[in-house]
Amino acid sequence: MHFEKLLNNIVTQALTKLAGGHKDDQAAVESEIEKVAASLDKVAAMGSDELVKVADAVKGIAKYASDAISGLQAEKKNLQEKVAAYEKSGKVREIVEEMIEKGALSKSDAGTKIKELMEKSAFDIEVTKKALEMFKSAENGSRLGTLEEGSESKGSRVNPMEDVVMSA
């Protein structure tokens, strides 16, 4: 009986993790648990010769299940990485579009800036995004400070946040 509970717990945990905790998948998990429980009842009613055959079959099934679960985990990780890359690309393109819109970047430099930002960490991209927001605020009249002397040494930039945004 202890073995059945242990096996049932292992199967429940594995199926729940595979289902990802989604409500729609919970019914499927419950159905699978019921099937496993029914199978365990059949195994408990078998004689010793039959149990040896079942044990060999279970080993094969366990190996197959293990390989399948490992494959699914690898696929999940791969898909998560792809999603993260797409999300990062979207954020970077959004930042570059805003930079072009605000005149902080020319369209001809957009590709270079996208490539440059894609190499940055998520934190650095977020900092760049915040700097761009500050740049936009400064353009709308909300200044962090003023430029009096020395603005000529910074080139043609009038906004101090432009240097921060362009250096990202």
Q: Over the stretch 10-28, which tens digit does the pLDDT of each residue have?
A: 776 666 666 565 555 667 7
Q: Stretch 119-129: mean pLDDT, rounded? A: 92
Mapping DSSP to helix (H, G, I), strand (E, B) and coil, where does residue 150 land? strand
Does pTM surpass 0.85? no
pLDDT band at 112 (very low <50, low <70, confident <90, very high): very high
3-state secondary structure 77-137: HHHHHHHHHHHHHHHHHHHHHHHHHCCCCCHHHHHHHHHHHHCCCHHHHHHHHHHHHHHHH
Q: What is the largest CA-CA distance in the chain?
A: 95
In this structure, what token pair is assigned to residue 128? 């760049």
- How many helices (H) and strands (E) are present in the chain, helices listed first? 6, 0
R_g (Cα) of the chain, nearest Å: 29
In this structure, what token pair is assigned to residue 73? 């985990």
8 Å CB contact between 70 and 78: no
| Amino acid code (one letter) for 2 | H
Q: Which residues are registered as beta bridge partners of 148?
A: 150
Q: Stretch 135-158: mean pLDDT, rounded? A: 56
Which sequence spans correspond to the domains of the chain? Answer: 2-82, 84-167
